[in-house]
Amino acid sequence: MCDGLKYLRGYINEFFRLRALAISKKLIVQFHLTSKCSMKCKHCYIYMNSERYQDELANELSFSWVCRVIDSIYNTAIKLQLDPVIEFTGGDPFLRDDFTQIIDYVKNKGIKFGIKGNPVFLTDELIKNLKENGLIRYQLSLDGIESTHDFIRSKGSFQKTIKGIQLLNQNDIPVFIKYTVSKLNQNDLKPLIYFLDENNLKISAFSVARYADKDNIDEMIYKPDEMKELFELLLDVYIKIFSNKTKNIHFLFKEHLWYPFLHQKGYIDNRLLQKMVSIENCYNCTMTKNIFVITPTGDIYKCRKVDASFLGNVKESSFQDLVYGVKHKQLLDTLQNSECRHCFYYNVCLGCPAITEAVRKNIVERDPGCFLYKSNI
Ligand SMILES: C[S@@+](CC[C@H](N)C(=O)[O-])C[C@H]1O[C@@H](n2cnc3c(N)ncnc32)[C@H](O)[C@@H]1O
Ligand code: SF4
Ligand code: SF4
């Protein structure tokens, strides 16, 4: 067995074991502070519903509302004995004039924060300042090699992102990279990952997530065989990268169907699997976890990409009441009664309800990329 393959086997088992533990102790809130953005990426869900987009621009939560929501997140976490983490995002959160004051506010409350943002404003000075204020990680998007990435995002964006990664690396801020995959850019995964590796860029978490939206759905959506091909392609690159001594890139296995795929390929230790499949919602969709999304207008969702996960607005009920209210309970019951409920992998997979909703218009049917239909249900 080559070194890369041996390392990958150990890495995968440790990844699933630790991730299930880590998430269960946190209350994670992805706070979309604004829908303003200097880019107009071809796949971006922000622009898909123009009425909602206009509403988000016109009715952004004010600074005092943002502070009230942060207080409520903090109080909820204390009550539940969870560690609060806020991920500020958008759009581009730096386009809010009061972003510095918002960061001061979370710092004074002692809440850890990350940013899922754009690279445009990143400078050495800004990163140092964010680090002093408690920034724990910065997520950037890469959607292909330079020509593809710039085609999807905007000209010059690739180089700005690489520069951003270098600056974050120099300041020891963990860099998370999100790759939104579709058939448009799938073939760029390999060359892009090799590029990052050859340039010694340190990536604390590289994750690949499928494009999910109602537009262009037929051309973009992954069918079962295509899903397997995508995973095979990724495994091949990961093995090669893990053959290196440096191991500068850490890969996440966040796509829901990874777990059944890896198990069927013999990568997962059977004792670990038996334990995980017996624990309710052990690893499956983040919608079943203490993870919430707040939109610029204060709407709360379990997942930004799932309309059916709407829980209410922070101006009408407090964050605490909404996240542990009736709607949340009903949503969890709905997921628990989905078509996946009889599947052996339910607690570690559940498919992706965002993709299911986009294609099937409900969240109870099976993920269109599920390749286990006949054998497991
Ligand atoms: C909305 S952006 C906000 C942060 C920042 N502006 C960025 O682009 O990274 C967060 C992530 O969602 C991804 N995203 C946007 N639209 C999507 C869609 N329709 N399906 C899946 N992911 C999407 C983006 O590519 C990005 O990685
Ligand atoms: S940079 Fe992010 S928020 Fe802006 S358009 Fe692109 S994906 Fe959407
Ligand atoms: S049936 Fe559901 S839980 Fe089972 S493998 Fe398919 S998507 Fe995952």
103-127, pLDDT tens digit by residue? 999 999 999 999 999 999 999 999 9
What pLDDT, on the 0 to 100 scale, is given for residue 374? 56
Distance CA(183)–CA(179), nearest Å, equals: 12
Residue among 31, 32, 37 whose CB has most ligand 2 atoms within 8 A, to mutate: 37
Taking the CA of 180 as reference, the closest ligand is: 1
What pLDDT, on the 0 to 100 scale, is given for residue 345? 93
CA atoms within 13 A on the CB side of 353: 28
Q: Whose alpha carbon is nearest atom 6 of ligand 2?
A: 41
What pLDDT, on the 0 to 100 scale, is given for residue 65? 98
Beta strand pairing status for 291-294 and 26-32? parallel
What pLDDT, on the 0 to 100 scale, is given for residue 377? 41
Lowest mean pLDDT, pick from 71-80, 90-99, 268-277 = 268-277
52, 55, 59, 60 alpha-carbon torsion, rounded to 10°: 40
Look at residues 349, 224, 238 and name the one whose alpha carbon lies nearest to residue 2.
238
Average pLDDT rounded to a whole number, residues 285-297: 94
Q: Is the pLDDT of residue 6 over 90?
A: no
Distance CA(265)–CA(297), nearest Å, equals: 44
Q: Is the pLDDT of residue 203 over 90?
A: yes
Note whether 176 and 139 are within 8 A (CB): yes
| CATH class of segment(s) 3-376 | alpha beta
The atom of ligand 3 lying closest to the CA of 257 is 8
What pLDDT, on the 0 to 100 scale, is given for residue 216? 64
Residue among 276, 366, 374, 375 whose CB has most ligand 3 atoms within 8 A, to mutate: 366
Note whether 302 and 285 are within 8 A (CB): no
Q: Is the pLDDT of residue 93 over 80?
A: yes
Note whether 28 and 76 are within 8 A (CB): no
CB 40 near ligand 2, within 6 Å: yes
Residues with Cβ within 8 Å of residue 86, at least 6 apart in sequence: 28, 29, 31, 70, 73, 106, 111, 112, 113, 114
Percent of the chain, pLDDT > 90? 79
Q: Is the pLDDT of residue 236 over 80?
A: yes
Single-letter amino acid, residue 330 = Q
What pLDDT, on the 0 to 100 scale, is given for residue 376? 45
What pLDDT, on the 0 to 100 scale, is given for residue 1? 60
Sign of CA dihedral 14, 267, 202, 158: negative
What pLDDT, on the 0 to 100 scale, is given for residue 213? 79
Q: Is 131 left (phi over 0), alpha (psi -120 to 50) or beta?
A: alpha
Note whether 189 and 234 are within 8 A (CB): yes
One DSSP character per residue, 60-122 reads PPPHHHHHHHHHHHHHHHHHTT-EEEEEEESS-GGGSTTHHHHHHHHHHHT-EEEEE--STT-
Average pLDDT rounded to a whole number, residues 350-360: 92
Question: How far, CA to CA in Å, does 143 sit from each of 7, 170, 305, 358?
Answer: 27, 23, 18, 21
Note whether 174 and 137 are within 8 A (CB): yes
Average pLDDT rounded to a whole number, residues 23-41: 93
Q: Is the pLDDT of residue 165 over 60?
A: yes
Q: Is the pLDDT of residue 340 over 80?
A: yes
Average pLDDT rounded to a whole number, residues 343-352: 93
Helix axes 224-242, 3-24, angle to 10 degrees: 110
Ligand 3: centre distance to CA 345 (Å): 6
Question: What are the structural domain ranges in the chain?
Answer: 3-376
Q: Whose alpha carbon is nearest atom 2 of ligand 3?
A: 340
Give 226's DSSP letter. H
What pLDDT, on the 0 to 100 scale, is given for residue 279? 86
Ligand 1 site, CB within 6 A: 37, 43-46, 89-90, 92, 116-118, 141, 178, 180, 209, 211-213
Lowest mean pLDDT, pick from 209-213, 214-218, 289-293, 310-314 = 214-218
